[in-house]
Amino acid sequence: MSTVLALEGRAHDLGGGFVVRRLLPQAQARTVGPFVFLDHMGPHTFAPGQGIDVRPHPHIGLSTLTWLFDGALMHRDSLGSVQAIRPGDVNWMTSGRGIVHSERTPDAERADGHTIEGLQAWLALPDDALEIAPSFQHLPADAVPRFEAPGVSVQVVAGEAFGLRSPITVYVPMLFASAHLDAGAELLLDAGHEERAVFPLDEGLSIDGETVEARRLCVLPTGVDVTLRAAARLRAVMLGGSPVGPRHLWWNFVAASRERIEQAKADWSAQRFGQVPGESDFIPLPDR
């Protein structure tokens, strides 16, 4: 019997062939540690003049993480943050009691045409941080801690792993790390975090001798070290941490109670969240 639960993402075409794959939540795994939502987007090539335009929309009760392998996005939020993110950088936004943000293709990439691929994750906040003030952190690529071993390079994006700690402010024990493995290389992922998963972007990964397919979220057994081995050069992301307890998810809201979701819905309908400076359009509250 397999010890790894390999989950295939549900594909959603957002238009023009731009596809995202929803890896979390799923029926077999609603969460992995504090991670309550995980999308793999792309790879997708936009022609010159085309790009992504996610209009201003709200969040509560979570931190968002954007991690790109290719391309670029421009983040703007109701705190006044304006920050481009490119491969190797970290954009980490904590909504707390409420924030609004937009994501768009930067002007230069839109003009030239470009390819984008990346992961976007939501991490539920613990009870004592659900209503904190919103915040935004950007960590440039050269400030992300890096672990090196023969044939292995790992960036510790957020949380702790491999004896390193990212400077990103997190609210529960967690890890998010991005690795490149050469053919024949091995990497030991210890049992230090309560729940863990691995997402290989390329073929050739085995976990404790069990070959896994690319672009599957591989939820690992708890309480044991596992060895990742690459049969070919590949990329993989490791994530997980401590769960925060039951959470309700509705649209862009994460909360400990349905009443808090209803309050957030009313606040967005009445435009009480604030605005992204310089942007007047927004995504309306869905009908359901």
| Residue tagged 């209803």 (tokens) | 262
pLDDT at residue 130, rounded to an integer:
98
pLDDT 10s digits, 127-183: 999 999 999 999 999 999 999 999 999 999 999 999 999 999 999 999 999 999 999
pLDDT 10s digits, 31-65: 999 999 999 999 999 999 999 999 999 999 999 99
3-state class (DSSP) for residue 110:
helix
- Identify whether the C-beta of residue 285 lies closer than 8 Å to the C-beta of residue 265: yes
pLDDT at residue 14, rounded to an integer:
79
pLDDT 10s digits, 77-115: 999 999 999 999 999 999 999 999 999 999 999 999 999
- Identify whether the C-beta of residue 209 lies closer than 8 Å to the C-beta of residue 238: no
- As to burial, measured by CB atoms within 10 angstroms (0-12 exposed, 13-18 middle, 19+ buried), residue 85 is buried
pLDDT at residue 1, rounded to an integer:
39
The answer on pLDDT for 16 being more than 90 is no
| DSSP H/E element including 108 | helix 107-112
Quick one: pLDDT band at residue 233, thresholds 50, 70, 90? very high
- DSSP secondary structure code for residue 141 in this structure: G
- Identify whether the C-beta of residue 177 lies closer than 8 Å to the C-beta of residue 161: yes
